[in-house]
Structure 1
Amino acid sequence: MTASTPRSRHSRTAATPTTAPEDVVLPGKATINDIARLTGVSKKTVSRVINNSPLVHPETREKVLALMKQLGYVPDPQARGLAFRRSFLIGLVYDNPTAQFIVNMQYGALDALRDSGYELVVHPCDSSKDDYIDGVRRFAQQQKLHGVILIPRVSEDEQLATALREIGVRYVRIASIPLDEAASMVVTHDRQAGSEAANYLESLGHRNIGLITGPRRYRSTIERGGGFLSGLDARGIELSPDYIYEGGYTFDSGVAGAEYLLAKSPRPTAIFACNDEMAAGVYKAAMRRGLSIPGDLSVVGYDDSPLASQLWPALTTIHSPIRDLGHMAAQMLLSDDPSPTGAVASPRTVTPRLVVRDSSQRPKG
């Protein structure tokens, strides 16, 4: 019997490796240590690249970013938060019944946050409940938010702004008038836009006009409706309270408001609805009564949401750059210094404008 020759320990290891080579990293499994090792730079340098530090040489930055892309490396927001003693999360807090408004606002914020390393988290709430401020405070603290975007109607609540200041959370408020320090405000000038709608309808020759507002607890209701009434008054038209209906910024409340107004005598020849969803409700009520738009009834909305151009006939409306508002607010939170001098003299603003389409014309006769 012939004895077998034992294999050397070296040859066995070479033939069947038990561990992967050190420089082999599976896609999507890379760590910051892998990126540093494979590019030949320090972990601190990789961290600086991730956080867009100007202290990194352009060639080094390009090499690190290329490898990160190749390996599908995505920084861990929680780990970054621990390293920098803050999170990389921006909150969006809202209590608004208009779904498209919220979607457009989110799109704008996400546009600004893209490639910044920050993420957006949303927090719907009901500002009519007594404990809603406590809920927003818990949300900000549990998520360790870098900052919060507040949109109407929560942006109009001074108690909420005070609560966020008390826990040291930065915020930007989007509202129709200045409510805070300029560095924390984006102003939308809704009163000016309401007045423009009034001037336009009067210029067409309308005298019997109806108004559907939002909920009276919304500052936008006061500004849009107030601007509309003052615009009519300046042109010699006093709108009777009987021709004003308080809606809820929803389609159904637009239907109800139009039914109420169109039952009046004399019947209004034009209706201004303080958002596009309520204006769409006016279309439905007019159709029920066999009224044509704009032949029997001119309709003007507010926001210039995608719905405005999808309605038939296309809706005349006030264009409010909602996506731009979200973008602007998020950019403000990303900036550690809101202005080159560190002092902001006036708040950032947007200017709504009238967009004339096919739902309005001169009244018959």
Structure 2
Amino acid sequence: MTEASNASRPALVWDAAKRPTINDIARLAQVSKKTVSRVINQSPFVKADTRERVNAIIAELGYAPDPQARGLAFRRSFLIGMVYDNPSPQYVIDMQQGILDAVRGSGFELLVHPCDRSSPTFLADVRGFVERQKLFGVVMPPSVSEDERVAELLTELDCPYVRIAGIPLDEPDSSLVTHDRHGGYQAAKHLVELGHKVVAHISGPNTFRSAHERRAGFVEGLAEGGVGLEGAYSVEGRYTFDSGVECARRLFALSPRPTAIFTGNDEMAAGVYQAAREAGLAIPKDLSVVSYDDSPTAPRLFPPLTSVRLPIREIGKVAAQMLLRDPEAEARAEPSEFEPTLIVRESAAPPA
């Protein structure tokens, strides 16, 4: 321990006959028990001066952690859960990859828990997952992140979490904001600037806040350009390929037929492409398509899909890093934020 750090702490007075505990180490080092556990298990997510102070006190007191207790602490400290209810496989894969990017080389592992928010056993299943695995923390993508019941449950279980959502839903330390409304707005402005007047929207499920945010931004952008979104031209999908096909078929039956469609994600946009081929419509000559997420699917379609980029993998990485940050660090004043960006490709053009 350095002279400065020795000066900042009174000399230890300890009964040699008394066996120190991890609580004693935490109290004397003025850190949390979790931080002491991290130091013992050589986690890299502890500041150097904190690690030095804790190790010095451990050495002075001759503290030796109980092997069984250390094993339990290890299991709790090095498992991160991802709880999700999302029908888009690409989104789930990208989110997992981002979390794995953050934990690679750290000793932490990722456990995934797919679930169904409509199930009567939903909350009980989440509770069982967290308690059985003794999770260090949980990353919650939409739509699980938008469910206040889950946040309340994890708080009750003293399990840290990070919620990913289009708007701030929690304290800055637990909230990652993606500003979905602004992405929908950009999509609308692009179509208006191209000259489209008869436009349609295929949203995600109403149970997803992201679906409402993206639609609201789209409507706002259209209105600024003097274009409305008529009731029959706004349909609800399920964030799946098949729902994109079904919804597009309904929209193609309208008169007048829309000259442009904005979809809530790329999976549904791929479904629109399929329905357009069936109907003999060429993209973008007969129909412009703009989407959301800019997943790896977007540039692989033909023609390449114009889509609002939301860097899902990077978002997963930052969410995990928020969970793994030093618990003794100063609390965040603002939530982590990601701004969506429209990536223009070849799927949208002026109407014929």
The question of whether the paired residues in 2 share the 8 Å contact of 1:80 and 1:88 is answered with: no
Classify the secondary structure of the residue corresponding to 1:301: strand
Alpha-carbon distance in structure 1 between the residues aligned to 2:264 and 2:74: 44
2:338 matches 1:356: no
Q: 1:252 to 1:121 in 2, by over 3 A?
A: same
Give the unaligned 5+ runs of structure 2: 1-38, 53-67
Q: Which of the numbers 51, 68, 71 marks the counterpart of 2:43?
A: 51
Cα deviation for residue 49 of structure 1 reads 7.9
Classify the secondary structure of the residue corresponding to 1:183: helix
Alpha-carbon distance in structure 2 between the residues aligned to 1:332 and 1:346: 12
The question of whether the paired residues in 2 share the 8 Å contact of 1:317 and 1:356 is answered with: yes
Alpha-carbon distance in structure 1 between the residues aligned to 2:207 and 2:71: 38
Classify the secondary structure of the residue corresponding to 1:86: helix
CA offsets per residue over residues 141-168 of structure 1, 9 Å max, x none?
Answer: 1100000001100000001100110011
Q: 1:146 to 1:263 in 2, by over 3 A?
A: same
Alpha-carbon distance in structure 1 between the residues aligned to 2:75 and 2:245: 51
Over aligned residues, Cα RMSD in angstroms? Answer: 2.1
Match of 2:83 in 1: 93
2:188 matches 1:198: yes
Q: 1:85 to 1:242 in 2, by over 3 A?
A: closer
Match of 1:237 in 2: 227
2:295 matches 1:314: no
Match of 1:13 in 2: none
Alpha-carbon distance in structure 1 between the residues aligned to 2:208 and 2:310: 17
Match of 2:11 in 1: none
Structure 2: which amino acid aligns with 1:351?
E
Match of 2:262 in 1: 272
Q: Which of the numbers 314, 333, 338 marks the counterpart of 1:345?
A: 333
Q: Which of the numbers 241, 250, 258 marks the counterpart of 1:251?
A: 241
The question of whether the paired residues in 2 share the 8 Å contact of 1:293 and 1:313 is answered with: yes
Give the unaligned 5+ runs of structure 1: 1-46, 58-77
Q: 1:348 to 1:290 in 2, by over 3 A?
A: same
Structure 2: which amino acid aligns with 1:276?
D
The question of whether the paired residues in 1 share the 8 Å contact of 2:163 and 2:175 is answered with: yes
Aligned ranges 1:1-365 → 2 under 5 Å = 50-52=42-44, 54=48, 81-82=71-72, 86-337=76-327, 340=329, 342-364=330-352
Alpha-carbon distance in structure 2 between the residues aligned to 1:190 and 1:345: 21
CA offsets per residue over residues 238-259 of structure 1, 9 Å max, x none?
Answer: 1111101100000000001110
Cα deviation for residue 343 of structure 1 reads 2.6
Structure 1: which amino acid aligns with 2:43?
N
Classify the secondary structure of the residue corresponding to 1:306: coil
Q: More relative contact order in 1 or in 2 (CA 8 Å, sep 6+)?
A: 2
Alpha-carbon distance in structure 2 between the residues aligned to 1:51 and 1:343: 20
The question of whether the paired residues in 2 share the 8 Å contact of 1:91 and 1:121 is answered with: yes
Give runs of ≥4 in structure 1 deviating > 6 Å.
none
Identity %: 54
Structure 2: which amino acid aligns with 1:172?
V
Alpha-carbon distance in structure 1 between the residues aligned to 2:322 and 2:102: 10
The question of whether the paired residues in 1 share the 8 Å contact of 2:41 and 2:74 is answered with: no
Cα deviation for residue 80 of structure 1 reads 5.2
Alpha-carbon distance in structure 2 between the residues aligned to 1:224 and 1:80: 46
Structure 2: which amino acid aligns with 1:51?
S
